[in-house]
Amino acid sequence: MGFEVYRPRSARDNMVALTKHHIRLGGKLAEKLGSRRVEVAFEKETGKLRIRGVKENGMLLNKNKIGARGIFTFFNIEDKKGTYHADYDEKEKVVYVYLEPED
């Protein structure tokens, strides 16, 4: 049996919430993206959502929220509502959200 990591609920800096209509990023994660426009991608095999800041096109990041109903439908993740741990990759300048439990 593996170790389970305790993450206090008050520490929302590295958390991302998926609600009925939005993807909500913690304030520090949103700042690190460095853009008000983002690209969202999903890797089905690992259950990982990638959010990357872009200069043109992309979706609007407004008050740390991304309108995401179309994203949820497109990637078939409507049932993934909740709060998830996320990591910022400094090298790639992206946020990874883990929608599946880590083994």
Q: What percent of the chain has pLDDT over 70?
A: 90
AA identity, residue 51: I
Q: Is the pLDDT of residue 77 over 90?
A: yes
Q: How far apart are CA 78 and CA 86, in angstroms?
A: 18
CB 22 within 8 A of CB 66: yes
Interval 60-81 mean pLDDT: 93
Q: Check the CA dihedral 14-29-23-97 and report its sign.
A: negative
What pLDDT, on a 0 to 100 scale, did the predictor assign at position 11?
53
Interval 48-74 mean pLDDT: 93
Q: Check the CA dihedral 41-58-21-93 and report its sign.
A: positive
Interval 56-61 mean pLDDT: 92
Domain boundaries, the chain: 15-98
- CA distances from residue 3 to 6, 102, 103 in whole angstroms, order as listed: 10, 11, 10
User: What band does 8 get if pLDDT is binned at 50, 70 and 90?
Assistant: low
What are the strands, taking DSSP E only, across the chain? 15-18, 22-25, 37-43, 48-54, 59-62, 65-67, 82-89, 94-98
What pLDDT, on a 0 to 100 scale, did the predictor assign at position 4?
85
Q: Is the pLDDT of residue 43 over 90?
A: yes
